[in-house]
Amino acid sequence: MPVPSSSVTPLPLPVASGPSLIKGPGPSTAPAWRRESFYFAGPENRLVAAAVGKLLAGDSAATGRREDGPLVLVGPLVLVGPPGCGKSLLVSGLAEGWRARVGEEGVLLVSGVDLRRRLERAIGAERHTPGAVEEIETRLAGLRLLVVEDLEGLAASEATVRLLSATIDRLAERGGVLAATAGKPLGEIAGLDRRLVSRLASGLVVEVAAPAEAARQELLVAALAARGCRIEPLAAADLAAWATADPRRVLAIAGGLHERYGVRAPISRRQAQAFMADAAGDDTTPLAELVSTVAKYYRLPVRQLRSSSRKAPIVLARAVAIYLARRLTPLSYDEIGRYLGGRDHTTVMHNFRRIDRSIATDRALRSAIDDLLRRLGRTDASPADPDRSG
């Protein structure tokens, strides 16, 4: 069944140049597809959309503007989440929105690695070019918005960490704003000292979860619409359930559907199912190897995963095996259930959906899934049709 879209918030994000994958509404002298993109935030990312939306509108204590409402940002905004969850889309849209308002010179978007290298070059040039470091410090402090992508990239340099700490203080004094992204919680990033962590944490640190099914469905429909394609609701629901939580995978699916079916008629459920079946193709993981890998990861014998045991560690490992089997093989719920001790369709489907719902918000579970995918030689999951009972 289609996932209700009423819980999904589309956050419009300006784009710098070139085509966006998703059209923006409204009249404009420029083509709409060059003006803005959208970030689709389900309930798992509602706070993310609210925070970025506030900064896009300039509503922050740091900008000298406050208004009544449920959220007023004070201090830095740090977005934390796994690769592919949309952090870069959000901060690049934020930077472009501020450029339109305060001018090009007032905004800088830079990666942590690039910021570190710039400072290291300036330090090395000090003998021949006195004031090179001070020039960087002055440039950063004079910004209206500084966006640092991937804090892990600068953590290896003590000098850069000190620079960013001082910059945060100077930005606050001058009414500037800092936004940053990180792949893990601030306290887990080696090299970030307490001073910098405390400054970053003085604002809003929010986790960007991988998009859940409703957000994936909205993203797929919009990405297809941007290519002139339409899709039947049930087909979109099937593909959203099938797609991984990585939005890059959803966009790749949209591109594949457009290439395969064109724009003449809405993509049907049968066409969507054929697309999924072909995508599974030869790129599958034998079930026995998969279950064995999961059992070893959780330090359990395979026979316990196939047993009737309800002990919590075994139940979790079994559910993860079901999730991966459904994602990585073309097997039905019935076929997976038969291998795992003769479990029925409903029980297997319940376990799959439990993991699928939890992976967006449970950091430990998501890390385990990522580790297992690597052990299985996969970088993402290309699942079979989740509604095929077999």
Q: With H, G, I as helix, E, B as strand and everything else as coil, classify residue 128.
A: coil
User: What pLDDT shows up at residue 74?
Assistant: 61
User: What pLDDT shows up at residue 352?
Assistant: 93
User: What pLDDT shows up at residue 384?
Assistant: 42
User: What pLDDT shows up at residue 182?
Assistant: 93
Question: What DSSP line would sit under 102-123, residue for residue?
Answer: H-GGGEEEEEHHHHHHHHHHHH
User: What pLDDT shows up at residue 280?
Assistant: 59
Give the length of the chain: 390
One-letter-per-residue 3-state SS of 344-378: CHHHHHHHHHHHHHHCCCCHHHHHHHHHHHHHCCC
User: What pLDDT shows up at residue 242?
Assistant: 79
Q: What is the mean pLDDT of each run of 10 residues along the chain (390 residues)?
A: 72 66 34 60 91 80 42 76 85 92 92 90 86 90 92 86 91 89 88 88 90 91 94 93 78 91 93 82 67 92 91 95 87 87 90 90 87 74 46
pTM, 2 dp: 0.68
- What the block records as the tokens of 368 is 């385990």
Amino acid identity at 75: G
| Rg of the chain, C-alpha, whole Å | 23
Evaluate whether 15 touches 96 at the Cβ level (below 8 Å).
Answer: yes
**CA gap 200, 196 in Å, rounded:** 6
Amino acid identity at 32: A
Evaluate whether 80 touches 205 at the Cβ level (below 8 Å).
Answer: yes
Closest CA to 178 of 193, 159, 160, 200: 200
**CA gap 38, 48 in Å, rounded:** 13
